[in-house]
């Protein structure tokens, strides 16, 4: 009988790279650095799995350390209950935010390790691989310090030259600026292309309506985070704006998604695997979206590990609520902002050709981590390395 593999070691790699010229971001805030924390889990079979936790590494580190202590020595196939127990038992302070982001990195690494144990892609364990490629939109059009419209136009033209026919841009500056940026994106993508607009919640219901009224003729594909996630009255007010609404990057676990889905505040559900609870919670959120007949389009704004995890998730995503024909593209968010971490962590970075990304078909996440690069760039003082004791395999 095969011995049930257990976790023998958890190691984390906090990563940070500063951006030039004050960075870039949304109308709400620019980011001065791109950050992430990678998680490596080794099993008693000698298999390693990798995950990624979203958030500032220095702040995520204590939560990762606590979770790692609970994971070391336990079976690799026990995953879903970890986040659920954490949220249930620590409901006062562990049900959202950085604790869940830390748990997400652990969860992804466990799924990767377990899939590698069987030598299959993670998508095979997430319901089965249904897709080998996926359409990608260039996640771009960021707000910079100078907000130069000419440079913005050049960026849109660059994405079109790269073969993208879909793009997401940042709005929420002012109605006139929002109009000019959307015009530039529409011109680059052409009349048949897809232009997604993202406010990152940097609006009131009134300013959102004014802004959308000013770009309606440019056919925005969806409006992302029109108001903040906690502005429930605002969501009700903008619900009739006449353009599909999306959200999810600021929501955590099935519990955070439950009401926005059940109350139909949103049309497109956007879980981020590095925040929402990893594959385990992502699967439940995907099922909730299908149960309420809503479209799913994951958020992805991390390193190549986050990209690989998102692609495995998309590979196993059914076309429901659509049938054999007529469904919109299953979109992969392909961040095009400058981020050395994105390509640096992978031996073969994820690439788009003609606006299409091939889903990696190797074991686990399907990619090979450049561990030498990761170790060389990690902030060692904020990392964690825990190993199991000889008797740890009996823990449950």
Annotated active-site residue in 299, 338, 382, 389: 299
DSSP-derived pairing of the beta strands 166-170 and 133-139: parallel
**Of 389, 290, 356, 341, nearest to 133 (Cα)?**
356
DSSP assignment of 165-205, as one string?
A: SEEEEE--S-HHHHHHHHHHHHHHH-TTSEEEEE-TT-S-H
Distance CA 269, CA 181 (A): 25
Distance CA 81, CA 89 (A): 12
Q: Among positive and negative, which fits the CA dihedral 189, 191, 194, 196?
A: positive
Q: Long-range contacts: 201-207, Cβ < 8 Å, 24+? A: 201/28, 201/172, 201/225, 201/226, 201/227, 201/228, 201/229, 201/231, 201/250, 202/26, 202/27, 202/28, 202/172, 203/172, 203/227, 204/234, 205/231, 205/233, 205/234, 205/237, 205/238, 207/175
Distance CA 139, CA 18 (A): 20
**Of 338, 220, 304, 205, nearest to 268 (Cα)?**
220
124 is catalytic: no
In this structure, are residues 16 and 49 in contact, taking their beta carbons and an 8 Å threshold?
Answer: no
How many residues in the chain?
396
| Residues assigned a catalytic role | 299
């Amino acid at each position: 009988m095969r011995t049930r593999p257990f976790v023998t070691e958890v190691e984390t790699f906090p990563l940070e790279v500063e951006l030039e010229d004050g960075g870039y971001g949304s109308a709400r805030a620019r980011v001065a650095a791109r950050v992430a924390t990678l998680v490596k889990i080794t099993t008693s079979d000698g298999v390693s799995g990798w995950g990624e936790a979203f958030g500032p590494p220095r702040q995520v580190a204590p939560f990762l350390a606590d979770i790692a202590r609970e994971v070391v020595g336990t079976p690799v196939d026990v995953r879903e209950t970890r986040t659920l127990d954490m949220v249930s038992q620590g409901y006062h302070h562990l049900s959202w935010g950085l604790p869940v982001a830390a748990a997400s990195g652990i969860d992804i690494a466990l799924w990767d390790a377990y899939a590698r144990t069987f030598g299959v892609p993670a998508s095979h364990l997430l319901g089965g691989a249904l897709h080998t490629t996926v359409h990608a939109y260039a996640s771009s059009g960021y707000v910079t310090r100078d907000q130069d419209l000419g440079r913005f136009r050049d960026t849109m033209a660059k994405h079109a030259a790269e073969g993208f026919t879909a793009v997401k841009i940042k709005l929420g500056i002012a109605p006139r600026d929002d109009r000019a940026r959307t015009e530039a994106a529409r011109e680059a993508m052409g009349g048949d292309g897809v232009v997604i607009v993202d406010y990152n919640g940097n609006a009131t219901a009134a300013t959102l309506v004014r802004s959308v009224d000013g770009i309606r003729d440019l056919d925005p594909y969806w409006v992302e985070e029109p108001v903040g996630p906690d502005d429930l009255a605002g969501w009700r007010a903008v619900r009739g704006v006449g353009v599909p609404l999306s959200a999810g990057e600021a929501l955590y676990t099935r519990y955070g998604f439950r009401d926005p889905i059940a109350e139909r505040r949103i049309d497109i559900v956007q879980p981020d695997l590095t925040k929402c609870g990893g594959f385990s919670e992502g699967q439940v959120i995907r099922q909730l979206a299908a149960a309420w007949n809503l479209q799913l389009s994951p958020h992805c704004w991390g390193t190549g590990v986050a990209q690989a995890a998102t692609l495995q998730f998309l590979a196993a995503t059914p076309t429901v609520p659509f049938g054999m024909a007529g469904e919109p593209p299953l979109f992969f968010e392909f961040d095009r902002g400058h981020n050395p971490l994105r390509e640096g962590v992978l031996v073969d970075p994820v690439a788009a050709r003609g606006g299409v990304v091939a889903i990696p078909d190797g074991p686990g996440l399907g990619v090979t981590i450049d561990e030498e690069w990761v170790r060389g760039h990690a902030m060692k003082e904020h990392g964690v390395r825990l190993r199991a004791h000889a008797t740890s395999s009996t823990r449950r």
